[in-house]
Structure 1
Amino acid sequence: MDRHDIDMAAARFRADGRGFIRRTPLWQLPGAALGVDCAEVWLKLEHLQVSGSFKARGMYNRLLANPIPPAGVIVASGGNAGIATAAAARALGVPCEVFVPTVSSPAKQQKLRELGARVVVTGAVYAEALEACLGRQRETGALLTHAYDQPEVVAGAGTIALEIEEQGGRTPDAVLVSVGGGGLIAGIAAWFASRSRVIALEPELAPTLYRARAAGRPEDVAVGGIAADSLGAKRVGAIAWELAQRHVADALLLPDEAIRAAQLALWKEFKLAVEPAAALGLAALLARAYVPRAEETVTLVVCGANLDPATLS
């Protein structure tokens, strides 16, 4: 997985006549606008992507790059990868089946059904839903889209970094990225490849990459907390682990209280209605888990907006 794969994904998106993938805005603000002592903070507003999260890029790239059998596509997902796969399948006119764990939010399950997917709710966590999904895939022969651990999925996510560099006119000094299974940070790290400092952010209650770095290898962890429906993978993906060892500068943990405070701040101060997973970047800055230099430009990837709006009251 490298910049060539990401360039190929971007070329597929440009060549696709449906215009399914959006080029989301890059909001460039002085650090002071967010109460941060640095030169600039760039917000990549990927919550405005088709299907409400960055996942659309990887799932659509996976479908465009492979023949789709009559059974269509199948995925296990806490919500966002399933929503993205269902939206991509609908755009291409193929069937879609999604396995979600019970922790997945009702709002996300409803969205899946609205997109025409067959939804199977099974297992307490993502890993259990994935096991059931793999069994079903062996029966039907459907094309499997993995939430984070396939090259096409990672390359699709990496097109976010390509856009950040194009829209900003340069590479930022640091990029703060939320991590669940690691597909997003893997794609971003593959693009910037140490030209920017890529920082992994995880909830304290879902420390997959943090624990892998401490152990020297991926290992299963218990997951829970406010962002578990989208950052609930119990083990970091193999692709993410390989790239993180080379191109991720640090992995930081954040408490649920800081994540929730940042989520509410994005809504109250900027009217950005995003899910908890999308707020980890601001949480890291406001809680001073990541302290930028005064001259630094920091990018936050605002990765998803599939939430119940009532939770922002």
Structure 2
Amino acid sequence: MDWRNEIKAARARIAGHARVTPVTKLTLAGHEVSLKLEQIQHTGSFKARGAFNTLLSTEVPAAGVVAASGGNHGAAVAYAAASLGHPAHIFVPEVAGPAKIALIERTGATCHVVPGLYADAMEAARAHEAATGAMQIHAYDAVPTVAGQGTCFAEWDAQGLDAEDVLIAVGGGGLIAGALAWWGGARRVVAVEPEQTCALNAALKAGAPVDVDVSGVGANALGAKRIGSICFDLAQGIDSVTVPDDAILEAQRVLWQEARQLVEPAGACALAGLLCGAWVPKGPVAVLVCGANPAPDPLG
């Protein structure tokens, strides 16, 4: 797979549909930190990149699209589908919560709330796909999704990123797979996961993707039960750390107090890896801030 060309093509394809998100620099915990504010992307997460790339790179059937999501991917698919004139059915687990469910519903998509966790929503989405012929847009384990997320890092390079270490939160792995696909070994990409939801960390230790338990403050965004195969293949040999929930909540507070950036716990997870000392860089470091949909919605 020629990932860099896939990502370059995706970047051209989604231009004018996905936002170019800004970068800011702060000094935090004694480190010069470059923050990519991807949480101000459409619907509050990087997911719009992969959604638009998927929809713009293929013919969408009359039945429209279907997606399973912890919330952010579903909102992005729903938004992209509405923008391009396609019907969308989004399946989310109960843990997604009312704020993300309301965000999906505001796009005009049909939102189905499924008992259980993300895996249960995926099962229901696959049943809908089989019954209707709708096109499934996977949250993280599909080439167009990963290439779309990779545009974030091509964009960051173009904005003058000068850090060697880049910390990225991991759920199912689509975002960090995009980073690894774009950079290869050019930068040190560090995976940061909650201790209670760590599918990539567990897979790297086991030598293969394995099922993990899902709980904690980041579960409704980072709650994949098993890492995606694309991510696992690309992530061999990378650095992987886990952080406790209290460190994630502290990073969420720091982002608000120091940068006036309101994010959900999952969106602060990568920064938590730096602030709690799970990862100690030797020089300037970059952090991807990835999600802005806290629950409850403070202004909803």
TM superposition score category, shorter chain reference? over 0.9
**Deviation of residue 123 (structure 1)?**
3.0
Q: How does 1:71-110 map to 2 (within 5 A)?
A: 71-110=63-102
Residue number in structure 1 paired with 2:218: 227
Q: Does the alignment pair 1:24 with 2:21?
A: yes
Q: 181, 184, 192: which is aligned to 1:193?
A: 184
Which stretches in structure 1 are left out of the alignment for 5+ residues? none
In 2, the alpha carbon distance for the partners of 1:35 and 1:309 equals 29
- Residue by residue over 1:10-33, the C-alpha shift from the partner in whole angstroms, topping out at 9 and shown as x without a partner, is 01123xxxx22111001133xxx2
Distance 1:245 1:13, change over 3 A: same
- Residues 198 and 212 of structure 2 are in contact (CA less than 8 Å); yes or no, is this contact kept in structure 1? yes
- Residue by residue over 1:125-164, the C-alpha shift from the partner in whole angstroms, topping out at 9 and shown as x without a partner, is 1011101110110111111100101100000000111011
- Residue by residue over 1:176-199, the C-alpha shift from the partner in whole angstroms, topping out at 9 and shown as x without a partner, is 000000000000111110100000
Q: How does 1:31-70 map to 2 (within 5 A)?
A: 33-36=27-30, 38=31, 40-70=32-62
Q: Partner letter of residue 291 of structure 1? A: V
Percent of aligned positions with the same letter in both sequences? 49
In 1, the alpha carbon distance for the partners of 2:266 and 2:7 equals 23
How many pairs does the alignment contain?
298
Q: 253, 268, 273: which is aligned to 2:257?
A: 268
**Deviation of residue 311 (structure 1)?**
6.7
- Residues 20 and 50 of structure 1 are in contact (CA less than 8 Å); yes or no, is this contact kept in structure 2? no
Distance 1:259 1:274, change over 3 A: same
Q: Secondary structure at the match of 2:193?
A: strand
**Deviation of residue 72 (structure 1)?**
0.5
Question: Cα RMSD (Å) of the superposition?
Answer: 1.4
Which stretch of the first structure deviates more once superposed, 280-289 or 154-163?
A: 280-289
Which stretch of the first structure deviates more once superposed, 278-287 or 56-65?
A: 278-287
Please give the TM-score of this superposition, normalised by the length of structure 2. 0.96
In 1, the alpha carbon distance for the partners of 2:229 and 2:297 equals 36
**Deviation of residue 286 (structure 1)?**
1.1
Which stretches in structure 2 are left out of the alignment for 5+ residues? none
Q: Secondary structure at the match of 2:96?
A: coil
Q: Structure 1 runs of 4+ off > 2 angstroms? A: 308-312
In 2, the alpha carbon distance for the partners of 1:309 and 1:139 equals 34
Residue number in structure 2 paired with 1:252: 241
Distance 1:41 1:150, change over 3 A: same
Q: Partner letter of residue 304 of structure 1? A: G
In 2, the alpha carbon distance for the partners of 1:206 and 1:35 equals 25
- Residues 99 and 296 of structure 2 are in contact (CA less than 8 Å); yes or no, is this contact kept in structure 1? no
Residue number in structure 1 paired with 2:120: 128
Residue number in structure 1 paired with 2:230: 239
Residue number in structure 2 paired with 1:117: 109
**Deviation of residue 270 (structure 1)?**
1.4
In 1, the alpha carbon distance for the partners of 2:77 and 2:295 equals 20
Residue number in structure 1 paired with 2:267: 278
Distance 1:136 1:309, change over 3 A: closer
**Deviation of residue 121 (structure 1)?**
0.7
Residue number in structure 2 paired with 1:291: 280
In 1, the alpha carbon distance for the partners of 2:13 and 2:281 equals 36
Q: 145, 156, 164: which is aligned to 1:173?
A: 164
**Deviation of residue 285 (structure 1)?**
1.2
In 2, the alpha carbon distance for the partners of 1:93 and 1:54 equals 21
Residue number in structure 1 paired with 2:194: 203
In 2, the alpha carbon distance for the partners of 1:193 and 1:259 equals 27
Which stretch of the first structure deviates more once superposed, 254-263 or 266-275?
A: 266-275
Please give the TM-score of this superposition, normalised by the length of structure 1. 0.92
